[in-house]
Structure 1
Amino acid sequence: MALTKEQTQHFYHKLLHMQKELSGEKKKTQSMTEEVGELSNGVDNHMADHGTLVTDRMTDQTVKEIDRELLEEVNHALQKIKDGTYGICEKTCQDIPYERLEAVPYARMTVEAQADVEDDLETDAPSFEREFHQQVKDLSNKETIDQKSSQTYEILDREQDSN
């Protein structure tokens, strides 16, 4: 069943709020040389301090990339509202259920079509690319972000054990 005008307006405002949040003022980070310079000026600095700095920087960059991609999806959804194609699956041309749009307002496809596309990507992508996408999912998944059970932590543990 197609979305009503009121439902579309609800999602339009929700997407505008997301767009504002994602494109708002981001925390200003120091340049890597400034941060390393501060650490190298001290006498008692440990190598782990530098490792922590690099890890934090990599995490920040990953989160910024995820935010940038999410902002692109939100902008795409807003354009689809203007075009009158919002809420229609890009793969099957079926209506995307209201509940899915409520959970993921920028969804381009139904759950089934999205799963098919992800399965195709996983089987076609090289192993390093699949691993990277899993790491990004781990970093952006609230359930695994602080857990040692994620694939990202397993990879880091393996690398540390091999050293």
Structure 2
Amino acid sequence: MYKSIKTMLIKMRDELIEEIARNRKMETDELRNEIGDLYDSADNERDRQLSHILNDRDRGKLIEIDEALERIDDGTYGICEECGKRIDSNRLKIMPFARLCVPCKSDIEKQLGQFRKIEEEAPYRELSNIDLEEFEE
């Protein structure tokens, strides 16, 4: 039923594996050739950190692709993990490794946004309880 999507996911996975391998080889080559002043060293470190971030993101995407392939094999592909309803085919075309339907994804993002807002405001809320008169002379 999802043969074309499975083929696309396999192709995406293979391309990601090649990309990760290329990046790893470039990093290794750069480490061998690293000679220069302090500014070059700082630039190289920043580039290396960016490369690690991108590689981590690629590895995460690789895991999502592998899990989508498993869902195709076990017959659960295209079913929202949150509500159990079918994920819209247009969403699956755009993001073939999607686990959630659009409404559930939106709800979760809203909840995460509210949680982050609460987390960010917490230190300031504690500051508002401080009696400023204690600090006045």
TM over 0.5: yes
* Structure 1 match to 2:28: 30
Counterpart-to-counterpart distance in 2, 1:35 and 1:94: 53
Residue in 2 that maps onto 1:89:
80
Distance apart, 1:117 and its partner CA: 1.4
The answer to whether residue 68 in structure 2 is matched with residue 77 in structure 1 is yes
Partner of 2:96: 105
| One-letter amino acid of the structure 1 residue matched with residue 114 of structure 2 | T
User: Which residue is equivalent to 2:53?
Assistant: 62
Larger radius of gyration: 2
| Change beyond 3 A, Cα 1:14–1:33 | closer
Q: Distance in 2 between matches of 1:121 and 1:35?
A: 43
Could you tell me the TM-score, scaled by structure 1's length? 0.63
Deviation at 1:48, TM superposition (A): 2.6
1:57-78 Cα offsets, whole Å, 9 max, x none, are: 1110010000000000000100
| Alpha-carbon distance between aligned partners in 2 of 1:33 and 1:107, rounded to the nearest angstrom | 37
Describe the SS at the equivalent of 1:91. coil
**Distance of 2:39 and 2:109 partners within structure 1:** 37
SS in 1 for 2:28: coil
Structure 2 matches for 1:132-151, cutoff 5 A?
Answer: none
Extract unaligned runs of 5+ from structure 2.
121-137
Q: CA deviation at 1:32?
A: 7.5
Describe the superposition over 1:10-29 as per-residue Cα deviations: whole angstroms up to 9, x where unpaired. Answer: 11111111111122361201
1:15 is the counterpart of 2:15: no
Q: Given the two structures, how large is their TM-score scaled by the length of structure 2? A: 0.74
**What's the CA shift for 1:122?**
2.9
The RMSD of aligned alpha carbons is 2.0
Relative to structure 1, the CA distance from residue 33 to residue 102 in structure 2 (aligned partners, 3 Å threshold; closer, same or farther) is closer
Letter in 1 for 2:64: E
* Distance of 1:80 and 1:72 partners within structure 2: 12
Residue 33 of structure 1 and its aligned partner are, at CA, apart by 5.8
Structure 1 alignment gaps of length 5 or more: 40-44, 128-163
CA distance in 1, matches of 2:75, 2:39: 53
Identity of aligned residues (%): 30
May I ask how many residue pairs the two structures share in their alignment? Answer: 114
**Shift in Å at residue 49 of structure 1?**
1.8
Q: Which letter does structure 2 place at the counterpart of 1:56?
A: D
Give how far 1:124 is off: 2.6
Q: How far off is 1:120 after superposition?
A: 1.9
